[in-house]
Structure 1
Amino acid sequence: MKFGTSGLRGLVQDLQGAPAALYTTAFARHLLATGQIKSGDPFLIAHDFRDSSPDIAATCTGALQRLGFHVVDCGALPTPALALYGQERHCASLMITGSHIPADRNGIKFYRPDGEIDKADEAAILSTAEALRAGAPIDASPGTADERGEQEAARLFLARNKALLPAGALKGMRIGVYQHSTVARDLFVDILTHFGAQALPLGRSDVFLPVDTEAVSAGTIALLKEWAREFQLQAIVSADGDGDRPLVADETGEPVRGDLLGLVAADFLKARVAVTPVTSNSGLEDCGLLRIRRTQVGSPFVIAGMQAAVAEGIGGVIGFEANGGTLTASEFVIDGTRISPLPTRDSFLPVLAILRETAERKGPMSALIRTYALPVALSDRVENMPVATSAALMAHLRGSQEALATFLAPVGEVGRVSDIDGLRVRLKDGRIIHFRPSGNAPEMRCYVEAREEAKAEALLAAGLELIRAFALAHPE
């Protein structure tokens, strides 16, 4: 088990039972020791639709009850809805989810009463877990929650989203909802219908499907294009497993980049500053819509960047990632309604923002996308690549300028290099290629940018092939 870009992740077999109780106990004891909660307080738990999630949630429930907490079961609920409910009730919470990674993996996202944990909290949880592991065996017997909270949490989240747009804002739009196994699937239908759209549920699955909104698979794209054509849709919306990363496709079924969704949301809210990782599109700074601050990949880094901007007295602060997850650190006012900050990934805000902008322009979504004139940015990953192999590749590329130049010789000549998170190389012809090990799974990710789609596609294919070649030459 390890902390990745958001939460603790690992194989199900390494989390079920005693490990789940261990990390839950460590988190609760950390909050108790720092005075953020006290025994007897309510503690929220929700989960995604993975087969393993309810059992892990029950184990976490038992661990919390043995510490004296009043556990509230929020059921299968989007992570941003749980975070908002915890924020409203000012209590800590756990989300049992592996997000977009395969079903043989799972994880826990941790929330303090004031919001998502940071890197210092992660270190404290790991340290406390190590101390607990050295003592008596942890009790992993499951518990049953003292209260149900899913209806109230969903109601609160829907109320927040209903305040974003005027009544009937999406009237006349025909929108597909790719439901698969995301916990956001029914809430998307509810909110789109509320705004007057015709929402068509598509692809609902009783089996967990690991839909990655940042590196959309060829099979998923083929489905989206088929549905867009068959049902004459103006857009298709969806999210990852725990509903904090959006997936939007235009009227042709072509997925919209997550960082563009974040930019549209920032424009919609009239934000002044956006905090986003280095993997987001390099053209964001050239748009002139707002100031951009760059961070490492992961919501804790984005949140820290937003908090720094707020501490400087800046208003209108938003954050977003290349996966589309959008966070707010400031209060925004929309048509006289105050929208409180929600500094955790949210898929609903960017979805509603781009649908609203599309409806107002009375044209296809693809035309709206073209107005932002961002470079073509693509990403994908090599799956099932051992962590040790990924580390060896990064060490090789960082070893010397000559090693990096030789590795990239098949695709171009090295220009500027950034090592903020992974290795990001601007080639001398202006194209960008970025290699970064995943923080959540045994995968190596590759991000590319170019001015033309064909050049971006060719660069991405070449980058992935370079990764595979290295892996074959350096087996474990």
Structure 2
Amino acid sequence: MGRENFINPVQLRFGTSGLRGLVESMTDMECYINTRGFIDYLIAIGDIKTEEVIYLAGDLRFSTERIMIAVAKGIEDSGSKAENSGRISSPALAYYAMQKGKASIMITGSHIPEDRNGIKYNKREGEVLKSDEPGILTHVAKIRKEEYAKTEEETIFNEKGMLKKPISLGPVNSEPRKFYIDRYLQVFSKDSLKGMKIVFYQHSAVGRDIAVEILEGLGAQVIPAGRSDAFIPVDTEAIREEDLKLVKNWADQYHPFAVLSTDGDSDRPWLSDENGKFLRGDMLGVLAAKYLGADFAAVPVSSNDAVDIELKEKLKLTKTRIGSPHVIKAMLDAFDNGFKKVVGWEVNGGFLTQTDFQINEETLKALPTRDAILPLICALLLAIKEKKTLSELIDALPERFTQADRIKFPIPMQEFRKMSEKVIERISPEAKNIDQAYFDDRITIIYKEGEEKVLSKEEPLAEDLQIKKKQLEEIYFNSPGFKPLFGMIFTDGVRIIFKNNDVIHFRPSGNAPEFRCYSNANTQERADEIVTMGITEIIPKMEKGLIDVSLAWPDNAAKNYLKNPSFIDIKPQIADYNWGGKGKNAFIPDFLGITDWNKFAAEAWYGSHPKLPSLIEPLLLPLNEFIGCNDEIARAILGERIFRIFAYRQTLPVMFKILDAQKPLSIQAHPWKGLAAILNILDSENYPDANLKIEAQFAIDKGGLTMLNGFKPFEELKSDVPGFEQRYNELSKRTGGKKGILLGDYEYLFDLDKFLEVYLRTRKLTVSREIREELINQYAEEFNVFMQDKRNKWTFKEAFVLVDFAQALSKPEEERDEIIDKYLNMIYLNEGQGILNPADHPHSDISGKFIEVMSSGDDTIRAGKTTKLVDITALLASLSFKYGKPDVLKAQPTEDAHIESLISIPGLFNLQSIRLNKEEKVEGEVKDGFCMLIVMKGSIKAQAQNGAVTTRTRGEATIVPAILKSYSITSLEPETEVMRVFV
């Protein structure tokens, strides 16, 4: 039986630099097959001979050692010998192997998240080029066919594609590490950085100790900082906000000359000046090229225009497709054409040298693969040479500003490739051999082969290009600020140049399911704005009809979500209680944009309560089921702190409702925490929650909200409740004003054992002796202390209200419903006003449209006015019987003029109203918690720092989970109002 019959392999593919894939897809078998194919290819082209040594190293990811073992087995089974170079940087491994004339293999995912990894193959003279890939894949296919044909007994892999007997990597050869360090220490003098204080951000970079040793060897005073055992995906093209904050803090704390770092495999540099300000890699490359005196440079098409401006008079500059193999190919061509000092670099800062350089009468050997250390040293030395601080050196560069970001697609890589190809196809010319097109009185095109041609506007090709130009301007670039389109470059993705010198560049990643967006502009604000529009508006337009950007989750939604966190767009469910609106008078369906609702519509629930959970769009997955998938998902949404506090992890800690009361609701109260737990055990059908419920209500339209709330002041009770004053005087006289005598018939409320006896008898419920004993053992102390504390605080008048209200509740239904509302205050709230209902507070909504925010519990104890259960015993145990007019809540200003605080209850919930005009924006942080945004008016786009984006309109909501950390909200309409609920 062939191996394809008992595994389902995912074949690895080449990205911009090597093979990349999800760790779960990088089985031992897949890594083994690709490695054997690579070695067979090298042997076939004469790059290596059989039985040669191949050097192997890896980064610090958790999956790297396993993959190294699989690759080592592939090397051995190809007839070669694997030599373990340990955990060293990609340039260190490549440099040593090249100098020894040997091939090498680096296991690294570079800057991408830890759930992915990669294999970077190097020939003896340097990186595998794009021209090598077809030949490698041919040999890989041959090995794959052979391996799949093996029986279960013959193969060295189990049914999951893992080695049955992993081999040892053997001892680590430390010579490559020393060789790389000596590359710098033997060329640059040992005091070249003398007296320079440098902070080095180590995080989980594999070359973190090597870098410190080199810098110290050149005389610098190095302060290692931020070392991490957990992998941190530092990407020098998409800087994380938390990394920028760390670097700024170190700059403020240590006052260094510079803060330096690298990415995961230490081939991409990070340079920040003495103030902690980050310098993009393409501009760092400019500084390195200037110091080295290069006469040729190859850079990707996505590089900052300032590279051209600064270097156009100093050297020959060529633009390439993105990826080091393309840069290397351009450098090789330059060397063949007679250039003597050939360099190249990428936007990420990885710096390559195709030729040797003479420095201090020593030879710096060529290293035609990305290196992080050389450009950092060159920038520092150039600052010393020009007697400038780094900020002064950087400020002298041309002022063209850039930004870059990416939008992630939570779909498999294979599916993303198909989608992204279609997206690029939509905005590219039909003629596939065109590299560039420029529009003026005539149209100039440059073919991929380098030929330049000028077209009249009447020629068919020119007409096709003009139609494409018009479509782009009218469909995608009709936002304010974009001027007429001037040029398009199709070298890698699509780079669009406008007549005001704005530049936007779209390119799908070859390594991860994400679209990257780059910009160039005359100000940083405009560069930022262009990328924001690209990520939030233009790319979503491009992909419309191909895939839903926001939440295109397959069946394994939770698993995919953790790999690509995003906003969670939710659709509320409607409670069809008969006191709500119906037909033409139904407010909630209109608010939600529903045209075919023919039932009552009383409440719209935004939350995860299992009784009526919101549905995740577009798959309509119940929110509570999603949160309850596993603890990892719950933590991602709630944050660690809330996850620990709220043990009931399948529900959010807060719920938001919109209500339309067209008939009076029941008078009700909510149980305090301990009582809620007891009632849940005794009668889970009527009390499905074991959690506290505190709620706040706010009127949301001009009709206001009419409600009963809290007990009236005592003097009003005397005048409004029939017979109240007479009964009070009689009982005062009979008891001598003693509270204990007055409460004699209700002493069961203050002792759990007696309460359970009365409660079970009056409700005609039965529980086992074991359950009753367990309740007493677990809750007696809390119940007795809490209730006795309430009893001790009551005045005689307050105790009398309990007695009198209890007697009213005990009357026949018709008499009860006629009198009980007379005990409560009649309150009218104007639009925007609100009221807080603590757990012990009786209340009833009479009429109005309003919002309600509450802690997640939903237990309600009713006192009548509806046909639902009236539970007098539980109600009396809940109420505090404080009387008086409740406080009316009003919106309070915050530091941000767009935001008003409606209510804040520490530890439970916060509710804010955000009002924005078109294109106004507010920032937000979820920190260690979660947030929900409900659009009351207008529409918004929300964007997270990781590139996730969504748009929501009136009635729609989205959850900002803790894992997203920070986000922004931008209004898309002239007037927008958003309710923000957060914990």
Q: TM-score range by the shorter chain?
A: over 0.9
Distance 2:241 2:281 in 1: 17
Measured after TM superposition, the shift of residue 358 of structure 1 is 2.2
Name the counterpart of 1:393: 423
Match of 1:145 in 2: 169
The one-letter amino acid paired with 2:357 is F
Residue among 402, 420, 424 paired with 2:495 = 424
Q: Which moved more, 1:341-350 or 1:217-226?
A: 217-226
Q: 2: distance between equivalents of 1:210 and 1:104?
A: 10
Distance 1:344 1:381 in 2: 25
- Give the aligned partner of residue 353 of structure 1: 378
Match for residue 101 of structure 1? 112
- Rounded to whole Å, the distance in 1 between the matches of 2:384 and 2:167 is 47
What's 2:82 paired with?
71
Match 1:298 to one of 306, 317, 323: 323
Structure 1 residue corresponding to 2:28, chosen from 13, 17, 23: 17
1:441 to 2:512 alignment: yes
Q: How far is the alpha carbon of 1:122 from its aligned partner?
A: 1.5
Q: Distance in 1 between matches of 2:172 and 2:208?
A: 20
The match for 1:80 is 91
Answer yes or no: is the 8 Å Cα contact 2:405–2:517 preserved in 1: yes
The residue identity in structure 1 corresponding to 2:337 is E
Cα distance between partner residues in 2 of 1:336 and 1:375: 36
- The answer to whether the Cα contact below 8 Å between 1:12 and 1:52 also exists between their aligned partners in 2 is yes
Q: What SS does the aligned partner of 1:80 have?
A: helix
1:213 aligns with 2:236: yes
CA shift at 1:17, angstroms?
1.2
Q: Does structure 1 retain, via aligned residues, the 8 Å contact 2:187–2:363?
A: no
Report how far residue 34 of structure 1 moved: 1.8
Shift of 1:218: 1.8
* Structure 2 match to 1:235: 258
Name the CA distance, whole Å, in 1 between partners of 2:323 and 2:42.
Answer: 22
Question: For residues 325-404 of structure 1, what are the structure 2 equivalents within 5 Å?
Answer: 325-384=350-409, 386=411, 387=416, 388-398=418-428, 400-404=468-472
TM-superposition CA deviations, 1:378-434 (whole Å, max 9, x none): 211112354244334323323733332121211513221111111111112111111
Deviations 1:71-90, CA, capped at 9 Å, x for gaps = 11011110000001101221
Contact 1:182/1:241, CA 8 A, preserved across alignment:
yes
Give the match's secondary structure for 2:486.
strand
The question of whether the paired residues in 2 share the 8 Å contact of 1:396 and 1:403 is answered with: no
Matches within 5 A, 1:194-205: 194-205=217-228
Inter-CA distance 90–139: structure 2 relative to 1 (3 Å threshold): farther
> CA-to-partner distance for each residue in 1:339-376, whole Å, 9 max, x for gaps?
11110000010010111122334432111012121411
1:385–1:305 distance in 2 versus 1, CA, 3 Å: farther
Contact 1:398–1:404 (CA<8 Å) still a contact in 2?
no
Q: Which amino acid aligns with 1:425?
A: I
Contact 2:272–2:279 (Cα < 8 Å) also in 1: yes
User: Quick one: which of 516, 537, 554 aligns to 1:466?
Assistant: 537
Q: Is the 8 A contact 1:71 1:147 kept in 2?
A: no
- The answer as to 2:325 corresponding to 1:257 is no
Alpha-carbon distance in structure 1 between the residues aligned to 2:527 and 2:208: 32
Q: 3-state DSSP class of the match of 1:98? A: coil
Q: Does 1:115 align with 2:115?
A: no
Take 2:192 and 2:387, find their aligned partners in 1: how far apart are those partners?
Answer: 12
Give the unaligned 5+ runs of structure 2: 1-11, 149-154, 158-162, 430-467, 553-983
Instruction: Write the letter of the residue equivalent to 1:434.
Output: H
**SS in structure 2 of the partner of residue 38 of structure 1:** coil
**Does 2:106 match 1:59?**
no
How many angstroms does 1:111 deviate by? Answer: 0.7
Which of 316, 327, 333 matches 2:341? 316
Flag the 1:299–1:428 CA change in 2: closer, same or farther, 3 A: same
Q: Is the 8 A contact 2:36 2:77 kept in 1?
A: no
Q: 1:66 to 1:441 in 2, by over 3 A?
A: same
Count of matched residue pairs: 475
Q: 1:472: how far off?
A: 6.8
> Contact between 1:165 and 1:356, CA under 8 Å: does it hold in 2?
no
**Alignment partner of 2:306: what SS?**
helix
CA distance in 1, matches of 2:322, 2:295: 21
Distance 1:224 1:158, change over 3 A: same
TM-superposition CA deviations, 1:85-138 (whole Å, max 9, x none): 101221111000011011111110001112111112211122221222222336
Q: Which amino acid aligns with 1:49?
A: L
Tell me the secondary structure at the aligned position of residue 252 of structure 1: coil
Q: Distance in 2 between matches of 1:37 and 1:417?
A: 42
Q: SS of the counterpart of 2:368? A: strand
Please give the TM-score of this superposition, normalised by the length of structure 2. 0.47
Q: Report the AA paired with residue 407 of structure 1.
A: Y
Supply the AA of the counterpart residue of 1:315: K
CA distance in 1, matches of 2:227, 2:176: 23
Tell me by how many angstroms 1:33 deviates.
Answer: 1.6
> Using the alignment, how far apart are the partners of 2:60 and 2:226 within structure 1?
15
**Normalising by the residue count of structure 1, what TM-score does the alignment of the two structures yield?**
0.96
RMSD: 1.7
Tell me which of 261, 266, 269 is aligned to 2:289. Answer: 266
Range 350-359 or range 298-307, more displaced? 350-359
- CA shift at 1:12, angstroms? 0.8
* Shift, 1:438, TM fit: 1.0
Does the 8 Å CA contact 1:70/1:146 hold for their aligned counterparts?
A: no
Contact 2:309 2:398 in 1 (8 A): no
Name 2:476's counterpart in structure 1.
407
Match of 1:157? 180
Most deviating of 410-419 and 139-148:
139-148
Aligned to 1:453: 524
1:143 Cα deviation after fit: 2.6
**Structure 1 counterpart of 2:140, which letter?**
A
Mapped to 1, the partners of 2:382 and 2:358 lie a distance apart of 17
Alignment check: 8 A CA contact 1:397 1:407 kept: no
Secondary structure at 1:134 match in 2? helix
Q: Within 1, Cα distance between the matches of 2:350 and 2:34?
A: 25
Tell me which structure has the larger Cα radius of gyration: 2
Q: Return the offset for 1:164.
A: 4.1
Map of 2:449 onto structure 1: none
> Which of residues 4, 29, 36 in structure 1 aligns to 2:15?
4
In 2, distance between residues paired with 1:156 and 1:146?
20
Shift of 1:168: 1.2
Q: Which moved more, 1:398-407 or 1:279-288?
A: 398-407
- Structure richer in helix, relative to its length: 1
Corresponding residue SS for 1:430? coil
**2:506, 2:41 → 1: CA distance?**
35
